[in-house]
Amino acid sequence: MIVPPRSERDTGRLVDCLSALAQGGSNAVGARVVTLTAGATETEVADPLCGADSMVVMSPTSAAAVAAQPWTKATGTRRFVLGHLPAAAGATLRYELRRP
């Protein structure tokens, strides 16, 4: 969703934005793909949308990522850390960030 600037005067754009919000849209979400660090038990991910209270929602995209059983270990400004079992090469997952 594209949030109009404070100076927006086009009521149609404002209505579109409110409509998107009413249907569950948000600009507080980022989505990307990450590869877990092979052989390690944690992976740090840099993401400019991450904040200290962000929620990381993960969806494994490979069997290796499922086997690694990732979880959110820590979140911080512009980064988060995933904990996981020792990851095999090619362990990838898609994640979304949700900010409060």
1's enclosing H/E stretch is none
* Token pair belonging to 39: 């052989």
pLDDT for residue 28? 62
Mean pLDDT of the chain, nearest integer: 89
Does residue 33 fall inside a structural domain? Answer: yes
Q: Supply φ then ψ for residue 47, to 5 degrees.
A: -150, 120
Does residue 60 fall inside a structural domain? Answer: yes
pLDDT for residue 5? 83
Domain that holds residue 84: 28-98
pLDDT for residue 21? 82
Based on the structure, what is the number of domains in the chain? 1
Does residue 8 fall inside a structural domain? Answer: no
Residue 52 one-letter amino acid:
A
pLDDT for residue 20? 81
The bridge status of strand 92-98 relative to strand 29-35 is: antiparallel
20-65, pLDDT tens digit by residue? 888 877 666 667 999 999 999 999 999 988 989 889 999 999 999 9
Residue 87 one-letter amino acid:
A
